[in-house]
Amino acid sequence: MAGNTFGKLFQVTTFGESHGGAVGCIVDGCPPGLKISTEDIQKDLDRRKPGQSKITSPRQEKDKIEILSGIFEGKTTGTPIMMMVKNKDARSQDYEKLKDVFRPSHSDFTYEKKYGFRNWQGSGRASARETIARVASGAIAKKFLKEKLEIKFLTYVEQVGDIKTEIDFNKVTPEQIESSIVRCPDKEVATRMYQSINRLIQDGDSVGGVIKGVIKNVPIGLGEPVFDKLSSDLGKAMLSIPAVKGFEIGSGFTSAKMRGSKHNDLFEISPDGKIKTKTNNSGGIQGGISNGEDIYFRVAFKPVSTIRKKQDTVNLKGQNVKIEATGRHDPCVLPRAVPIVEAMAAITIMDHYLRSLSVIPAEAGIQSKITFL
């Protein structure tokens, strides 16, 4: 199976299955000398792990990270970093009665048809448990970007079902986000979201929503025309996350009903003499290249497909059957998806930052030399 690696210079390759021995990753391309510890990575994994509240999957996993290579005496060595989390609370028997049927809107059918068989124990690679590896890799990227460039990531739940916060992301703090079980910084709206999700648990159903991502202090010049635009790679990063069905950056779909005279971000000179834009409908990216403004985007998640309600489906024999799924699943993935979205944003920015270092502006007066050995 191809497609397990993301990035060009900062490369993340993930491995493992939901009910296998472990899940993990290999991070290649991280510069040497970065101070990193298991604690730096664990704090983000704790935000993603199951069993952290009444509205998440009750699967009991500590998700303790093990670093197997690439870090020596507390610093990255520049060699591949291998990390792993062992599965401790897999219950494959929960999926026994699902192994011969296709769950509606799940990967069961497509995996079966593409490969001729599938790992029905917890969905194998299709399980969101694979995202442990992304969060661990993203923790490294976030630490590097914060220390070297003061780049900060702010990610929160903006919408659950039809309940949405209109809070200004410029006024949101990480403390507000993490003080909420739902990870919505708007206290009143977060309460309504929680109540809605809790009712769905009782009803055996699920719900989708939207996560807002903000990246601050991104330098001008990240992004590669034409197929590797920063916005394109951010879109790919987000759409690769399980359950994601939509992505928009800046004004997004709202721009479709705007006029150019209203949508254009007009330039001005700031008090410190820098070129800025008066508005930010571009979402911090113009022509696929970062312009120095805040990058902001929205990621839409569908409802979890495995629910306890009885539904029509077919089995491997091509017979019409009824399905009523069991097992431990999130009624809403949004609270646990926040660190995943943040991680994929960090990995993308990290990769493009390293790629930008190979571009030498003409005015720098530096001539590159190619030596053939």
Q: What are the residues whose beta carbons fall under 8 Å from the beta carbon of 263, sequence distance 6 or more?
A: 251, 255, 281
Q: pLDDT at residue 367 above 60?
A: no
Tell me which of 57-61, 179-183, 333-337 is least confident.
57-61
Q: Which two tokens stand for residue 225?
A: 């025309």
pLDDT score of 74: 97
Sign of dihedral through CA atoms 301, 303, 304, 305? negative
Residue 366 has pLDDT above 60, yes or no: no
Rounded mean pLDDT, 320-338: 87
3-state DSSP: the chain helix, strand, coil percent, rounded to 5? 35, 25, 45
Going from N- to C-terminal start, the domains of the chain cover 5-364
Q: Looking at residue 325, what is its pLDDT?
A: 77
DSSP-assigned letter for residue 209: E
Q: What angle do CA 219, 225, 227 make, to 5 degrees?
A: 120
Mean predicted lDDT score pLDDT of the chain: 91
> What pLDDT score was predicted for residue 81?
98
361: β partners: none
Instruction: Please state whether the peptide bond connecting residue 244 to the residue before it is cis, i.e. omega within 30 degrees of 0.
Output: no
pTM of the predicted structure, to 2 decimals: 0.93
Question: By C-alpha distance, which of 14, 33, 151, 35 is closest to 84?
Answer: 14
Q: What is the pLDDT of residues 85-105, one digit of tens each?
A: 998 866 666 667 788 899 899
pLDDT at residue 360, as a whole number: 61
Indicate if the pLDDT at residue 327 is higher than 70.
no
Instruction: For residue 54, name the pLDDT band (cuts at 50, 70, 90).
Output: confident
Task: Classify domain 5-364 by CATH number.
Answer: 3.60.150.10
**How many C-beta atoms lie closer than 10 Å to residue 21's C-beta?**
11
CA distances to 24, 27, 122, 232, 337 from 10, rounded to whole Å, are 16, 7, 29, 17, 22
Average pLDDT of the residues in 285-295: 98
Q: For residues 245 and 301, is the Cβ–Cβ distance under 8 A?
A: yes
pLDDT higher than 70, residue 296: yes
3-state class (DSSP) for residue 260? helix
Residue 73 predicted with pLDDT over 50: yes
pLDDT tens-digit map of 215-262: 999 999 999 999 999 999 999 999 999 999 999 999 999 999 999 999
Tell me the average pLDDT across 102-124.
87
Residue 199, pLDDT > 90, answer: yes
